[in-house]
Amino acid sequence: MLLENQPYPQDHRVRREATALATAGYRVSVICPSSEGQGWRETVDNVRVYRFRAPSPVNSLLGYLWEYGYSTAASFAISLLVFMGEGFDVVHAHNPPETFVFIGAFYKLFGKRFVFDHHDLSPEMYRARFSDGGSTIVYRALLVLERLTCMVADHVIATNESYKDVEVERDHVPEERITVVRNGVEVQRGRPIQPDLALRQKSKTLIGFVGVMGFQDGVDYLLRALHHLQHTFGRTDFYCVLMGDGDAFASLRKLAQELCLEDYVRFTGLVHGDELWGYLSAMDICVDPDPANAYNNRSTMIKIMEYMACAKPIVAFDLPEHRVTAQQAAVYVTPNDERAFARALAQLMDDAGRRKVMGAFGRHRIETKLAWRYSVSNLLDVYRKVLPNSAEAGQAVIPEANDVRPMLGLMVKGQGR
């Protein structure tokens, strides 16, 4: 696996997929950028991990060209080491960047299989990042790369039915070459735990956000909604904790100061594991402020499922995939209407009974429909199709040290928003 946008095992979808495949008997190698303190090579839960130095964060066209060019070249160089050493049978490329198609195409010359795990609609995501929609030339180039990737791939993994529709209609992929493997949370990892008691002292109502803070993720909408909550609706009985990081982080902190929200918000930066679940368990309401656009409308947000796993009621803009995921676990607000978002928060703040019912519904839906375990069988079906002769694999057993099973070279970048 090649992973570009996050280290491993921090990328949750990639970790879940790699671990599921390793547990099923495949030998998995992940190539990814490193984070602080990580070595260039280690084994994590039976998954071999190879790392290259991460490029610096960017938010410009030239910067992205450098980032993706460098990461693709570094991933290819390390993949050659894996190819000549351990070997592999499949290149599993998660986008973005779609430039991983060139690595997959290269190894197809040697009889290897290529799986495209379609995490993000890169053309739509590019336009969502820029207020003016960005460059038309770049947008069209991303469309070409997406279609090329789908054409070269032996099989395409879609994260939801909306992405599958794009692959069929825009990229002309036959339905039999597409499998939907939804994002999901591990119920055991996502169980409610003892809340952060210090946070509970902050205010009567705690509001929580967790996720990437990019320019397309709508955290600025949330901050303006909180400003309305305070000044339009006269509420001062709230405290909002924003967990995560991204290229908009600095500008969001500046916006919070401009809106005089310093006493009402806290930016924690990245949090993981029990610390994250402790924060989430302390929340009364969780929020997803992703605005309506061609990208968000089709994307499944992992944070919504994390909120549901912690039995938290949600306020979100009314986007199609939000309704598919959360159903009655969320209050849906007119898209991009910050005042309406604030009104929904105020109403939910005053209705503890409704919050409890919504949270219980969300937790039940995770346990019975949306937990990661319900997606694993679809993932394994993909590998039974691309490696039909590997009859031993996919039986959910961990191989012994001397057990030879199919090898996967997984090249990954994921939708972990």
Q: What are phi and psi of 36, to 5 degrees?
A: -60, 130
Show Cβ contacts of residue 12 under 8 Å, excluding neighbours closer than 6 positions: 302, 414, 416
- Report the C-alpha gap between 55 and 34 in whole angstroms: 9
Say if CB 295 and CB 125 are below 8 A apart. yes
Residues of the chain with pLDDT under 50: 190, 396-407, 409-417
The helices-and-strands tally (H runs, E runs) of the chain is: 15, 14
Q: Three-class SS string for 164-197? A: HHHHHHCCCCCHHHEEECCCCECCCCCCCCCCCH
Give the CA count within 13 Å in the CB-facing half-sphere of 144.
6
| Kind and range of the H or E run holding 368 | none
Say if CB 127 and CB 133 are below 8 A apart. yes
302 closest CA partner among 240, 166, 222, 210: 210
Q: For residue 275, what are the CA distances in angstroms to 13, 268, 279, 309?
A: 19, 11, 6, 15
* β-bridge partners, 315: 287, 331
Q: Which tokens in the block code for residue 398? A: 């961990």
- Could you tell me the strand order of the sheet in which 178-180 lies? 41-44, 47-52, 27-33, 407-411, 90-94, 113-118, 155-158, 178-180
Sole residue written with tokens 């006493």: 263
Show Cβ contacts of residue 342 under 8 Å, excluding neighbours closer than 6 positions: 225, 226, 228, 229, 232, 233
Sole residue written with tokens 């219980």: 360
End-to-end CA distance of the chain: 20
pLDDT at 195: 72
* Domains present along the chain, CATH in parentheses: 12-183+372-411 (3.40.50.2000), 197-369 (3.40.50.2000)
Say if CB 307 and CB 185 are below 8 A apart. no
Q: Are strands 41-44 and 47-52 parallel, antiparallel or unpaired?
A: antiparallel
| Kind and range of the H or E run holding 266 | strand 265-269
pLDDT at 63: 79
pLDDT at 399: 35
E strands, 282-398, where? Answer: 285-288, 314-317, 330-333
